[in-house]
Structure 1
C-alpha cells in the first residue's frame, strides 16, 4: 500500500507553518515533507515533529535567492562555492531532522546560455553533493520540473534525469518522480514509472492541470497507486498539491488508502 507524506509548504496554508505538523498528524499522516526549513531553527522543527509523532521525509537544499526567482544553483557556472556551502547547510538540517532524502534544485538556464557548460557544472556539483551526503547515509535527488511552472528550469524530462544519474555514477543519487510534472511535460506516466523504477528515490503527486487534490484532473491516481504497488516501490509519496479549499476537507481522496496511519 502506498505511503503518503503531507507536503507542509503547499498543504495546510490556512494555518501557521509550525502548526501544520500537528494538523497533518491529526489527519492521519505519519510523515511530512516541505520545501525549505532554513527560516526556522532546526531543533524547533524537530520538536514539532516529535510532538506530532511524524517522520521528516524530504526537503530541498538551499535554492539561492528564491524571492528574486532563483530556483537552484547546481547547474549555474560560477556558483560552485556557494553550492558547496548550501549542501553543508542542508546536511546540517537533515542530521537534526532525521530525513534521508534531500532534493537538489538545478536552476534556470536562459536560451542564450551554453547548455553543455551548465550540464558539465551540474554533473560536477551533483558528484560533490552525493559524496558529501554518502557520509551521512543520505540520498540526493534531482527532479525534472515542468517548463510551465518554472520556465527555463534546466531539467525537464525523466530520461535525461536518469541519464545524468548514470553519468555521475553515485549509488545515492536518484530521481524524484513527480507525476504532476511528468504528465505535463511527457505524459505516458505508467510506462515511465515502469521504465525508471530502479532509479526513483522519491515520488510526488498532484492533480493535473491545476495542481489541486489528486482526485481532480486528468490523471487516474487509483490506477497509478496500484501500479506503484505492483512495482514494489517501498518509498514515500509526497502530496505536493495546493488544496482547492480547506486541506482537511479535501482529503476524501486519501481515505480509501489509509488502511493504516500514514
Structure 2
C-alpha cells in the first residue's frame, strides 16, 4: 500500500513553513520532504519533526543561487569545490535530521555543453556517493517545460548514469509528473525501472497543472496499483501545488487506497 510524504515546500502554503510540520501531522502524515532546509538551524527542524511525530525522508543538496535561477551546481564545470562544500553541508543536515536520502541537482546549461556538464555531474556524484556512507544520493530527471536546460530529462539517462557510476548508495528519484510531461508511457516505465532497485523515491502531482495527483490526465488509481503490484515499499512524495486549501484536497489519498 502506497505511503505518502508531505512535501512542505509546496503543501500548506496557507501556513508559514515552520508551522507546516504540525499541519501535516494533523492531516495524518508521518513523513515529510521539502526542497531545502538551509534557512533553518538543524536543531529547530529536528524539534519540529519530533514534536509532531514526523520523519524526514528527503531534501535537496544546496542548489547554488536559487533566486538567481540556478538549479544545482553538481553538473556545472568549474564549480567542483563549491559543490563539495555544499554537499558536505547537506551531509551535516542529513545526519542531524536522520534523513536517509539527499537529491543532488545537476544544474542548467546550454545543450552544446552537455558532454562536459555530464562528465562533471558524473564525477561529482561518484565523489558524493563515496562520502555519504549509508545515505542515499539521488538524481532526478526534470522536464524541460518547467526547467529549461536541465541536464537530465529522461529516465533512461538517469539510470544509465547511476549504473555507470555503480555506487550502491546512488539511486534515481522518479517523479511521475516529470515523467508524464517528458515521456509519457508511465506504467510501462514503472514496470521497466522499479524492478531494477535503482528507484529509491517516488513523487506525484497532477498533469499538466501540478495540482492534486487525481486531477489531470494521469489515471492515478491505475498508476498506484502498478506501483503496489511491483512491490515498491518506499515513500511517495506529494510534490504538488494545492488547487485550494491543502487539507481539503487530500481526499485523493484515501480514495486511492494509500496511507500517510
Unmatched 5+ residue regions in structure 2? Answer: none
Secondary structure in structure 1 of the residue aligned to 2:192: helix
Tell me, in whole angstroms, the C-alpha distance in 1 between the residues paired with 2:131 and 2:113: 28
Matches within 5 A, 1:1-262: 1-111=1-111, 113-134=112-133, 137-197=134-194, 198=196, 199-257=198-256, 262=260
TM (norm. structure 1) is 0.97
Secondary structure in structure 2 of the residue aligned to 1:114: helix
Secondary structure in structure 1 of the residue aligned to 2:99: coil
Tell me, in whole angstroms, the C-alpha distance in 1 between the residues paired with 2:83 and 2:165: 17
Query: Structure 1's 81 and 243: CA in aligned 2 closer, same or farther, altered over 3 A?
Result: same
Cα deviation for residue 254 of structure 1 reads: 1.1
Cα deviation for residue 115 of structure 1 reads: 1.4
Tell me, in whole angstroms, the C-alpha distance in 2 between the residues paired with 1:115 and 1:152: 10
Deviation above 4 Å: which 4+ runs of structure 1?
257-260
Query: Structure 1's 258 and 223: CA in aligned 2 closer, same or farther, altered over 3 A?
Result: closer
Tell me, in whole angstroms, the C-alpha distance in 1 between the residues paired with 2:143 and 2:165: 23
CA offsets 1:218-255 (integer angstroms, 9 cap, x no match): 00111111111111011000000000000001111012
Tell me, in whole angstroms, the C-alpha distance in 2 between the residues paired with 1:114 and 1:220: 37
Root-mean-square deviation (CA, aligned residues, Å) is 1.0
Tell me, in whole angstroms, the C-alpha distance in 2 between the residues paired with 1:164 and 1:26: 39
Tell me, in whole angstroms, the C-alpha distance in 2 between the residues paired with 1:257 and 1:58: 23
